[in-house]
Structure 1
Amino acid sequence: MTRKKIDLGGQTFKDVFSFAFVHWMRQRWRIAGIVAVSLLTALADVLTPLFAGHLVDALAGAGVDKYGALHGALRSFGALIVLALGGAALRYLTFAGIIALTLRMMSEIASDAFQRVQRLSTDWHANSFAGSTVRKITRGMWALDMLNDTVLVGLLPSVVMLVGATILLGMHWLIMGVVVGVGAVLYIGTTVALTIGFVAPAARLGNAWDTRMGGALADAVTCNSVVKAFGAEQREEQRLSRVIGKWRDRTRRAWVRGTLNGSLQNVMLALMQAAMLGVGLVLWLEGRAGVGDLAFSLTMFLVLQGYLRDVGMLVRQLQRSVNDMEELAQLTRQPLGIDDKPGAGALVVKQGEIRFEHVTFRYDAHAQPLYADFSARIAPGERVGLIGHSGSGKTTFIKLIQRLYDVSKGRITIDGQNIADVRQASLRAQIAIVQQEPLLFHRSLAENIAYARPGASQAEIERAARLANAHEFITGLPKGYDTLVGERGVKLSGGERQRVAIARAFLADAPVLIFDEATSSLDSESEALIQEAMERLMEGRTTLVVAHRLSTVRSLDRLLVLDKGRIVEEGNHEQLIRLEGGLYRRLFERQALELTKGLGAEAHRTETAAAAAV
């Protein structure tokens, strides 16, 4: 288990830096400028102790010739002022460059991640929490800010300072250079090893639970209406409390390990300080170092101590930023699942004929295929209903036409064009779909209707709403078409959302139309309005209707009755209803019986109420 964690840590650092390197290379000249200015800043810090030593030497050796000593001291003093002011100006230029670099990189990363997430497969989205995905992206964006500061402004100058100090001290006293060089290498090596092998695995686990906590929060907030319906607020609070407890324990472990790592760094700095001061005193006792030399070495130590402390802190920041960016880097490498072929062209639909040609398809989790050597043809302009029990393959049929999944064998064509050979965006632009539970954006009604055609005028939006029987209820709202509908359209009833979705389909004006159980959960009045709108929308379009309520398919041209991925019956309503023992007839009779029982119960309640009133 330990070996696996260490390997994963090294791989994580490699993956994150590969991810960051791609974005660094997009601004390579700005990176080069920042690095150059940072190195000059470090050089100014390296030279500061040297001139401080010259200043002390000039004053200590003044003797009788005070003016000559003052002249030498002023030159060293002037050099120190120039180095201080120059260092301040260089630091300003460094941070100005970092601001421009980081803001552009964060913008690009957010855009790239969103673009990637939008194109990930239906299965991926079905198995991922939206809140967790948002948390990965935002946490990774802000971690990039820390990564840039750590690597470009912190670590590079610190390394240059340590190397420069080792060389300068070694030129004066070889033993002092060896002490500083060996101490710095041991300090940095120990810090890096502990960070990667000891702190990073705990931080990675803490981040994983942080992501889960974000997902749990989003899940409960999104389903708040269900929580309220069952009075389950306390239950959800307890559930979240368990997740928060796990996050707290994992995060505490990471923070404690980070504190232990920092304490060990402080001990190593104290030992290095003792070694440098001890060597300096020995050199002074032996007469090999003067007062200025001691001032030089003492100043150098103070500067070195600051940089070494920075290195320890920077390595911890590097570990934290890498761990925070880990899930974002993994997200950008996530396979799309369904991708456009290189050079894929646009789908051109003139008639709207749909064919399934010897299609075999299975879901990843299933050993047996749902469709095996499946063939079907939908004629141009034909209105076809898909009927069957749950799990018979109705929804999969329409998802395959949208190419939300790829077939294992065979092909699906529209007007003779294999949908796997065209761009997915062009394919879906030719298909208008009205879902069982239509999703609306938390935007205005006009924006939601115009989503199918963003450039539509207000008149076109209102015309589509009228055709969908939505204009009347929209104009009855206080803000009309400017009314915000709430997240997922929660401010509207089910029937209102359906009519907005149908208006959106009218505006899309696509040659292929799909209704996915669009009336299965509506009251009879809403169903009548929607069926009327559906009839208008189906005119002149190749239409597929997935329905549980068989009353919605009686007027269709043809019905395909599916069972376990096979077409077991085919024909219009009148033909199928005559089939003795047929599946469609059984389904229809069962629904008719349920409707009769419901009407009988309602009539009984009405009679009872009337008798009680008398």
Structure 2
Amino acid sequence: MTFDAKQRPAAIRVVMPFVFRHWFNQPLATLTVAGGLLGATVADLFMPIFSGHLVDALTLGPADADARQAALMAFGAIVALGLTSIAMRMIGLQAIVPFTLKIMSDVARDAFMRVQRFSTDWHANSFAGSTVRKITRGMWALDLYNDTILLALLPSLMVLLGSMVLLGLHWTSLGLVIALGALVYVSMTVALSIRYIAPAARVSNAWDTKVGGTLADALTCNGVIKSFGAEAREDVRLARVISRWRARVRRSWMRYNITNAVQLLVLLCLRGSVIGGSVLLWIAGRASPGDVTYVLTSYYIIHAYLRDVGMHINNLQRSVNDMEELVAIHDEPIGIADAPDARPIGITGGRIVFDRVTFLYGGHRDPLYDGLSVDIRAGERVGLVGRSGSGKTTFVKLVQRLYDVSGGKILVDGQDIAKATQQSLRSQIAIVQQEPILFHRTLAENIAYGRPGASQAAIEQAARLANAHDFIMRLPKGYGTLVGERGIKLSGGERQRVALARAFLADAPVLILDEATSSLDSESEAAIQEAMERLMKGRTAIVIAHRLSTVQSLDRILVFDRGDIVEQGSHAMLMARSGGIYRSLFERQATEFARASAAE
């Protein structure tokens, strides 16, 4: 796995406009934070001036009444400036907390909304753990970014500019020395951060994401790991990834250390120039002890801010790098988007028409469907059969508009689904997958997912229809039982029955069953098959069949082969066709079943 920083745009040019857009969404809060912190900085900026006045007054001695008054006034000004600085800083700090939290919340929520709406292909090619890591790391990087810009860099730049101006008004040469030194220091720090640190940080972040994905992949598939006794193998696999992550992070951290050493060397040169210059002015009689105190106090403030500026710029670059992948999620186009004028679709009968549909998977040269036309009547029960890869699953995914067709159109009750909102379309289609996925929530919440406002009585009735009520009631917490991640605490048959109950409760006009009884034992299958017959009655039902015995009673069977419907008709009609694909598949399965039964 390689990462070429040169092939990607500079993160700072992508991330900073992204963050500033969120700042502009809160203009009053942005002004309050910036105003409070800049006010505190201005108060700090004038401290050295009155410190110099105080030293000059003290050198005249306590017997001088004017000196005493000047000393007291300078002391009072220092205290007043200190109180002003504290008050203004508190205003800024109090405002930045809700300001930053709102941006973090908005960004995380928006990223989640986009990820939810990305295409099926995007999710198939992405690690869930990596995606979570990108979002959470980017969220916390926003906190560091806001603190760095508003709490650190903005006040630092104000102090640097203000000090250079004030010193330049008294001694032009010192002002120029500080200006030149600050310019060299900041320019060097920015260049090192962008050109030297950022590429290494970007690579280390990518491997940090890789570690998260590897952990999530192994933890999600822990059952498979245990079944093969492969814990040690997975330990070795993670160790390899962590080893490469450690090497990348070490390089990144070492570059931070080298950059810091170079920064300190430049600051040492600047310190010698300023202190030496102020001593020369005093020797030449052009500066009083108070003036030297003012210069030294100003320089130490400038030095502290300059030293911190280097750290802040490094932190800024780090936060930008950490946000880069999050911003990429926001910039990622949504695979299937609603049309600008999309409206909710109303499905009553559930007639489905494929009108000369052409469909090409991304990256494939030849289309799977090329002018496919089929008409499924309202209330018709249709089975889809065929060899693996023949186009059965793609057919139902296109009905749900998980992909957009390349040509032609799909109509439901005469309405083009490409012009309908996806939410309205999918909410009126109930689907039971071959491998049902449950949320780590209660059984009641899982069953009611298609109808979140359903009553407990309706939930239990749906469970009874799916032959799930009895096993649920045997659980210690009944319908309040948490099922574990992806339903891992339930057996395959139990998960399937919960998914069926979810479909029963949804009561949608269109029903899609992807071999919904494949995980059930024979006794449960008979009961569920009977319930499914009742469920399909009066609804448009599409059944993807792997075991052909489940489609014998359907109204029509469509036989797919390489994206074409090569045969269609009832079970009896297709069995009467000598040399037909359906008959061949059915007879082969019957023979295999007979052999398996004899072996038992």
Q: 2 CA distance for matches of 1:402 and 1:274?
A: 72
**Alpha-carbon deviations, 1:9-42, whole Å to 9, x = none?**
6x31011111111211111111011111111111
Q: 1 CA distance for matches of 2:230 and 2:525?
A: 32
Residue matched to 1:70: 68
Measured after TM superposition, the shift of residue 115 of structure 1 is 0.7
Q: 1 CA distance for matches of 2:264 and 2:538?
A: 79
Q: Is the 8 A contact 1:121 1:336 kept in 2?
A: yes
Q: 2 CA distance for matches of 1:8 and 1:346?
A: 39
Q: Is the 8 A contact 1:495 1:527 kept in 2?
A: no
**Alpha-carbon deviations, 1:242-277, whole Å to 9, x = none?**
110111011111100011111111111111000001
If the length of structure 2 is used for normalisation, what is the TM-score?
A: 0.98
**Alpha-carbon deviations, 1:570-593, whole Å to 9, x = none?**
101011111111100110011000
Letter in 2 for 1:235: R
Q: 2 CA distance for matches of 1:517 and 1:268?
A: 72
Residue matched to 2:349: 351
Query: What are the within-5 Å matches in structure 2 for residues 430-509 of structure 1?
Result: 430-509=428-507
Residue matched to 2:37: 38
Query: What are the within-5 Å matches in structure 2 for residues 24-423 of structure 1?
Result: 24-62=23-61, 65-423=63-421
Letter in 2 for 1:322: V
Q: 2 CA distance for matches of 1:515 and 1:5?
A: 46
**Alpha-carbon deviations, 1:42-95, whole Å to 9, x = none?**
1111101110000001111338x4222111001001111111121122221111
If the length of structure 1 is used for normalisation, what is the TM-score?
A: 0.96
Which stretch shifts more, 548-557 or 36-45?
A: 36-45
Letter in 1 for 2:291: D
Q: Is the 8 A contact 2:181 2:270 kept in 1?
A: yes
Residue matched to 2:579: 581
Partner SS, residue 567 of structure 1? strand
Number of equivalenced pairs? 598
Q: 2 CA distance for matches of 1:200 and 1:522?
A: 55
Q: Is the 8 A contact 2:433 2:516 kept in 1?
A: yes
Aligned CA distance change for structure 1 residues 29 and 6 (closer, same or farther; 3 Å): farther
Q: Is the 8 A contact 1:353 1:379 kept in 2?
A: yes
Measured after TM superposition, the shift of residue 104 of structure 1 is 1.0
Measured after TM superposition, the shift of residue 6 of structure 1 is 5.9
Give the alignment's Cα RMSD to 1 decimal: 1.2
Letter in 2 for 1:403: R
Residue matched to 2:21: 22
Aligned CA distance change for structure 1 residues 154 and 355 (closer, same or farther; 3 Å): same
Q: 2 CA distance for matches of 1:31 and 1:392?
A: 57
Q: Is the 8 A contact 1:340 1:421 kept in 2?
A: yes
Measured after TM superposition, the shift of residue 100 of structure 1 is 1.1
Letter in 2 for 1:516: D
Letter in 2 for 1:467: L
Residue matched to 1:596: 594
Q: Which structure 1 residue ranges, 5 or more long, are not aligned?
A: 603-614
Q: Is the 8 A contact 1:519 1:549 kept in 2?
A: no
Q: Is the 8 A contact 2:32 2:91 kept in 1?
A: no
Residue matched to 1:612: none
Q: 2 CA distance for matches of 1:501 and 1:75?
A: 80
Letter in 2 for 1:361: F
Letter in 2 for 1:14: R
Q: Is the 8 A contact 2:390 2:560 kept in 1?
A: yes
Q: 1 CA distance for matches of 2:216 and 2:64?
A: 76
Measured after TM superposition, the shift of residue 282 of structure 1 is 1.2
Residue matched to 1:530: 528
Q: 2 CA distance for matches of 1:120 and 1:371?
A: 23
Partner SS, residue 16 of structure 2? helix
Q: 1 CA distance for matches of 2:410 and 2:488?
A: 36
Q: Is the 8 A contact 1:143 1:322 kept in 2?
A: yes
Q: 1 CA distance for matches of 2:527 and 2:6?
A: 63
Partner SS, residue 37 of structure 1? helix
Q: 2 CA distance for matches of 1:295 and 1:260?
A: 33
Q: Is the 8 A contact 2:137 2:323 kept in 1?
A: yes
Q: Is the 8 A contact 1:502 1:533 kept in 2?
A: no
Letter in 1 for 2:178: V
Residue matched to 1:545: 543
Q: 1 CA distance for matches of 2:322 and 2:482?
A: 35
Q: Is the 8 A contact 1:346 1:423 kept in 2?
A: yes
Residue matched to 1:429: 427
Q: 1 CA distance for matches of 2:417 and 2:308?
A: 57
Letter in 2 for 1:432: A
Letter in 2 for 1:334: E
Partner SS, residue 489 of structure 2? coil
Partner SS, residue 401 of structure 2? coil
Query: What's the % identity of the aligned pairs?
Result: 58
Q: Is the 8 A contact 1:520 1:547 kept in 2?
A: no
Q: Is the 8 A contact 2:5 2:202 kept in 1?
A: no
Partner SS, residue 375 of structure 1? strand
Q: Is the 8 A contact 2:342 2:420 kept in 1?
A: yes
Partner SS, residue 347 of structure 1? coil
